[in-house]
Amino acid sequence: MLSYSSVQCNKCRFHGKISVLGISTALQLAVGHRGKGGDITKIHRVELASLLLAISKFSSGIDLCLQMQDGSMRT
């Protein structure tokens, strides 16, 4: 497990932990423990919330990259 004790800002530490939990939840659903995929009905609500936040952060980042490629920065 990653250690976030070196991060001084509590907000940054919290967002980092939530992001890592979201990515690990996505991998757990995609691969599962035995490599055949996970059971979506056994997801905890905190894992689901962190997965949705991670998806939101990734989609915002992808949108920003596409805007930068086009040269049109929309807000």
Task: Write out the E strands in 1-75.
Answer: none
Q: Give the pTM.
A: 0.71
The single residue listed with the structure tokens 């989609």 is 59
- DSSP secondary structure string, 16-63? HHHHHHHHHHHHHHHT-SSSS---GGG--HHHHHHHHHHHHHHHHHHH
Q: Per-residue pLDDT tens, the chain, 75 aa: give them.
A: 555 566 678 888 888 888 899 999 998 888 877 777 777 788 899 999 999 999 999 999 999 999 888 886 655
